[in-house]
Amino acid sequence: MRVAIIGAGLTGLIAGRELVRGGADVVVFDKGRSPGGRLATRRIGGATLDHGAQFFTARSPAFAAQVDDWKECGLVHVWNQGFNGTDGHPRYVATNGMNSLAKDLAVDLDVQCSTMVFAIRDEPDVNGITVVIDDGTAHTVDAVIVTCPLPQAFALMIDGGIELDETLFRTDYDRTVGLLVRLDGPAAIPASGGIQDPDEIFSFIGDNASKGVSTEPAVTFHANPTWSEAHWDDENDTLVDQLTAAAQPWLGDASILEHSLKKWRLATPRSIWPDPCWTTANGRIVLAGDAFAGPKIEGAHNSGLAAAHTLLD
């Protein structure tokens, strides 16, 4: 079975590995320069910061098994037991940044980055599904797993002769504006190293030094959906000034040495499809990702597994 996967985030990589394990011939396409999606890590000067997903828990047996493998390899460790007391679910982080998990999963997979998929077509005169790349090349496969956000998936398939469920594609997404800062000293963040919903602007604040990701003081600030939506069209300099001012209570005596602004247009789905993936009537195209099993690392993992087994079964 020849399978193309659109998107080399966690869902696509997990699906790809599971399909290869089941004997399929798999290629993964991603428009980014490297695999990862929201498993995103970047350097600012000598600091390292996670700027997409910040941590994860393991509450299902399938994902717990994956986390155990990562722990044995030294790829992840426990950050804390919760931000406001413990709930029995350790918060895990990737020791070398979240993107290191994507790189590990991509080993031995055919991942083609900097490759923009233009269209997916189910044409009667073609024995399979045609995946068209923006340079005009085309790949014919037996099945496709699409893991990008639903508005992007819809755009890829709308003119491809594919029967789509309009209810599914009406899913709205929240936006997120993020500020990454490198500091000249420790931040004034509680011992847990993270803060959820501390005020009317931020949804999460994460101390990357506390996580063990950065050897220098560095903090990731995520603005909440309401603030991000209201200020999305502001000039970047204005956004930086506003977020920097709002961040001051959490910086203590430290000053910002360098900063970087990050904007996620399709950050979080506002509603979740009741099943871990969705399949066309002919079983050739599967949609998976954060709009199905939940907008968390665990959900992305479990949706990828479900998509792979839908084809293997």
Model pLDDT for residues 60-105, shown as the tens digit of each residue: 999 999 999 999 999 999 999 999 877 889 999 999 999 999 999 9
The pLDDT of residue 252: 94
Listed by start position, the domains of the chain span 2-33+113-171+273-312, 173-269
Strands 143-146 vs 285-287: parallel, antiparallel or unpaired: parallel
Q: What's the pLDDT at 129?
A: 96
Residue 115 has pLDDT above 80, yes or no: yes
Within 13 Å of residue 185, how many CA atoms lie on the same side as its CB?
A: 7
Across 81-85, 158-162, 165-169, 193-197, which has the greatest mean pLDDT? 193-197
What's the pLDDT score for residue 171? 92
Shortest CA distance to 308 belongs to which of 74, 17, 19, 77? 19
pLDDT confidence tier of residue 295, bands split at 50, 70 and 90: confident
Beta bridge partners of 72: none
Contact 121, 160 (CB under 8 A): yes
Residues 6+ apart with CB under 8 A from 273: 168, 171, 291, 292
Q: What is the pLDDT of residue 133?
A: 97
Question: Which strands form 143-146's sheet, in the order they lie side by side?
Answer: 111-112, 25-29, 2-6, 143-146, 285-287, 278-279
pLDDT, tens digit (0-9, with 9 covering 90-100), for 205-219: 999 999 999 999 999
Beta strands in the chain (DSSP E): 2-6, 25-29, 41-44, 47-50, 76-80, 91-94, 111-112, 117-121, 129-133, 138-141, 143-146, 173-183, 194-196, 202-207, 218-223, 256-269, 278-279, 285-287
The answer to whether the beta carbons of residues 44 and 22 sit under 8 Å apart is: no
pLDDT surpasses 80 at 124: no
User: In sequence order, what are the beta bridge partners of 173?
Assistant: 269
Task: Say what the pLDDT of residue 87 is.
Answer: 81
Determine contact, residues 17/105, Cβ cutoff 8 Å.
Answer: yes
Q: What fold characterizes domain 173-269?
A: Polyamine Oxidase; Chain A, domain 2 (3.90.660)
- What 8-state DSSP symbol labels residue 250? G
Distance of CA 211 to the CA centre of its chain: 19
Asked whether 62 and 147 are in contact (CB, 8 A), the reply is no
Q: Are 91 and 50 in contact (CB under 8 A)?
A: no
CA atoms within 13 A on the CB side of 166: 0
Task: Return the structure tokens found at 259.
Answer: 């900063």
**Same CATH fold, 173-269 and 2-33+113-171+273-312?**
no
CA dihedral sign, ordered 221, 207, 66, 17: positive
For the whole model, what pTM was predicted?
Answer: 0.96
Structural class in CATH, domain 2-33+113-171+273-312: alpha beta
When computed from its CA atoms, the radius of gyration of the chain, rounded to whole angstroms, is 20
